[in-house]
Chains A and B, each alone.
Chain A
Amino acid sequence: MTGQSYAVSVPKGYRVGPWEIREPLASGAFATVYTARLAGGAQPDLPRQAALKFLPTGTRTPRQLRHLRELAEREVELLGRLRAPRLIRMYDTLTVDDPDHPELDGATVLVLEEAEGSLDVVLDRTPAPDSGPALLAQICEGLHQLHHAGWVHGDLKPANVLLMKDGTVRLADFNLAAEMEGTHAYAPAFATPDYTPPELLWSEMDERGTRIRPTADIWAFGVLAHVVLTGAFPLPGGSTEARADAATRYARGAEELRLSPQLPEAWREIVHDCLAPTHEDRSTRAAGTAALLRRVEEAAGTSPSARLPRLRPRKWRGPVLAAAVAAALLATATVTYALRDQDQAPAASAPASCEKPAMYEDETHGRGYTAGWNGTWDFVIKQGDGGSQVKEAQCLLKHRHGITQVGEVDGDFGPLTHAAVVTFQKRAGLDADGAVGPDTWRALRTAAKN
Chain B
Amino acid sequence: MYSVIVVPPSCDGVDEQIRIASGERLAFGRAGTNGGLTIAHEGVPRVAGEITADRNFWLLSNFSEDQTYVVENPEGAGEHIKVAPGRMDAPVPFEFSRVVLPAAGDLLSFDVWAPRHVFRSVARHGLSGAATVQAFALDRTKRYFAVLAALCEPRLRGESRAPLPAVEQLVERLRPTWPTVSRSAVYWNIDYLAVKLRLRPGPDTADPGGPRQNGKKESLVSLALRFDLVREDDLTALADPTPVAPAAVAPAAVAPNGVIR
Contact = CB atoms under 8 A, between A and B. Distances in A.
Interface of A: 3-5, 27-30, 57-60, 62, 64-70, 72-73, 76, 93-95, 106, 108, 118, 120-121, 124, 155, 157-159, 175-176, 188-195, 198, 201-207, 209-210, 240-242, 245, 248-249, 251-252, 254-255
Contacts of A248: 1, 3, 21-22
A255 B23 CA distance: 10
Interface string B221-261: 01101111001010000000000000000010010110111
Given A94-B260, A241-B118, A64 B1 contact: no
Contacts of B55: 241-242, 245
A136 B227 CA distance: 33
Interface string B118-160: 1001011111111111111000000000000000000000000
A155 B257 contact: no
9 contacts: A73-B259, A94-B260, A108-B257, A121-B128, A190-B132, A190-B135, A204-B198, A248-B1, A255-B23
A192 B132 contact: yes
The 6 closest A-B pairs by CB, nearest first: A64-B228, A189-B135, A159-B129, A204-B200, A245-B55, A120-B129
A93 B133 contact: no
Contact of B231 (A4, A64, A72, A175): A64
B170 to A, nearest CB: 21
A97 to B, nearest CB: 9
Nearest to A173: B132
A207 B201 CA distance: 11
A190 B134 contact: yes
Given A29-B131, A189-B135, A248-B1, 13 more contacts: A5-B126, A57-B259, A62-B233, A64-B231, A66-B227, A69-B257, A108-B260, A188-B227, A202-B116, A205-B223, A206-B200, A241-B56, A249-B23
A176 B3 CA distance: 26
A120 B22 CA distance: 31
Nearest to A68: B228
B197 interface: yes
Nearest to A106: B257
A205 B199 contact: yes
Contacts of A28: 127, 132
B223 A207 contact: yes
Nearest to A59: B254
Nearest to A227: B130
Interface of B: 1, 3, 21-23, 54-56, 116, 118, 121, 123-136, 197-200, 219, 222-223, 225-228, 231, 233, 251, 254, 256-257, 259-261
B139 to A, nearest CB: 15
Contact of A106 (B23, B231, B256): B256
Given A66-B228, A189-B227, A193-B133, A203 B198 contact: yes
Nearest to A202: B1
A125 to B, nearest CB: 11
Dominant secondary structure of chain A at its interface with chain B: mixed
Contacts of A175: 132
Contacts of B227: 66-67, 188-189, 209
Contacts of A242: 55
B132 A5 contact: no
A226 B98 CA distance: 42
A203 B226 CA distance: 17
Contacts of B225: 66
Contacts of A190: 132-135
B195 to A, nearest CB: 11
B247 to A, nearest CB: 17
A249 B22 contact: yes
A257 B1 CA distance: 18
Given A67-B228, A159-B129, A248-B1, A29 B124 contact: yes
A58 B256 CA distance: 8
Given A69-B259, A93-B260, A93-B261, A29 B228 contact: no
A241 B3 CA distance: 12
Contacts of B129: 118, 120, 157-159
Contacts of B260: 93-95, 108
A66 B155 CA distance: 13
A71 to B, nearest CB: 10
B257 A192 contact: no
Contact of A67 (B56, B123, B226, B251): B226
A159 B22 contact: no
Contacts of A210: 135
Contacts of B256: 59, 95, 106
Instruction: Specify which of B21, B127, B132, B222 lies most central, judged by the most chain A CB atoms within 10 Å of its CB.
Output: B132
Nearest to A73: B259
A204 B199 contact: yes
A158 B197 CA distance: 28
A107 B124 CA distance: 20
Contacts of B231: 64
